[in-house]
Structure 1
Amino acid sequence: MLTLEKKPEMFNIEEIFASKGRVKIIKILVQEEELNISEIVDRARLNHKSTLKHLKFLTKAGIVQEKIYGRIRIYRIKFEDYRVKAIKKMIDVWETF
């Protein structure tokens, strides 16, 4: 059976921002750069399962990178991605008001 995986650049803006949870996680990672999942759960005030689901989505979309150190998973925003740069600018402008 052939399964087609979307390439990161194929995710559209509606998919990225379709969830309040994803928006919260993006904002947190833009501010903090990298955190483990427990810190993201606490700051986003989301449950572990939905946070993990959103992080997996954002990783597939190429917005977030997962680093694994033994049993510890660290998630970082990919500032080198042009879309993340645009998202950061938008958040910076939005948060100044």
Structure 2
Amino acid sequence: MLHHSVFLTFKATTSEVEKAYFIAESRKLAQIPGVMNLKVLEEFNATNPYTHGLGMDFEDQAAYDLYSNHPLHNQFVQEVWLPRVEKWQEIDYREV
């Protein structure tokens, strides 16, 4: 089992409407074959510099690779993520 997490902060110019759009579009990533347990997260601890996050699981590396190269994921990155996200931290774990 693989777990993919990414934590982010929006650009200062990103409006609340755009943030809501981002969240709604993020949930569509669950449509990609192999994505399990998609979570869209909002930070509640003010000591963390990231305000939002996404987390999901994959059965194996092949499922993760399918997700990473899927047209829906690529479109999300280009049209939703890059125009709105200032900085991010991606963390991927494998169960041991």
TM superposition score normalised by structure 2: 0.29
More helix by share: 1
Between the two structures, name the one with larger relative contact order (CA 8 Å, sep ≥ 6): 2
TM superposition score normalised by structure 1: 0.29
More strand by share: 2
